[in-house]
A = this chain, B = another copy of it.
Amino acid sequence: MDLAIDLSNPAKALSLPHIRYQLIRLEDTVLYHLIERAQFPLNSPIYTPGALQIPNSTLSFSDWVLREQEKLQSQIRRFQSPDEYPFFPDAMQPLILPPLEYPKILWENDVNCAAKPQRAEKAAVEEAQENYGSAATADVNCLQSLSRRVHFGKFVAESKFQSSPETFVPLIKAGDTQGIDAAITDAKVEKKVLERLRLKAEMYGTDPGMDAEAPRKVNVDGVVAMYKDHVIPLTKVVEVDYLMQRLKGSEWE
Contacts and interface: CB of A to CB of B under 8 A. Distances in A.
A112 interface: no
A97 B2 contact: no
Contacts of A217: 28
Contacts of A130: 2
A199 to B, nearest CB: 5
A55 interface: yes
Majority-rule SS of A interface residues: helix
A11 interface: no
A247 B55 CA distance: 41
Contact of A208 (B35, B54, B200): B200
A39 B65 CA distance: 25
A35 B40 CA distance: 22
Interface stretch (A133-141, A167-175, A181-189, A232-240): A133-141
A238 B200 CA distance: 36
Interface of A: 1-3, 5, 24-25, 28-29, 32-33, 35-36, 39-40, 52, 54-55, 61, 64-65, 68-69, 72-73, 76-78, 96-97, 130-134, 136-137, 141, 196, 199-200, 203-204, 206-209, 217
Given A204-B204, A208-B200, A137 B73 contact: yes
Nearest to A192: B209
Given A73-B137, A96-B54, A217-B28, A131 B209 contact: no
Contacts of A136: 76
B40 A29 contact: no
Nearest to A39: B5
Nearest to A217: B28
A78 B68 CA distance: 15
Contact of A52 (B29, B97, B207): B97
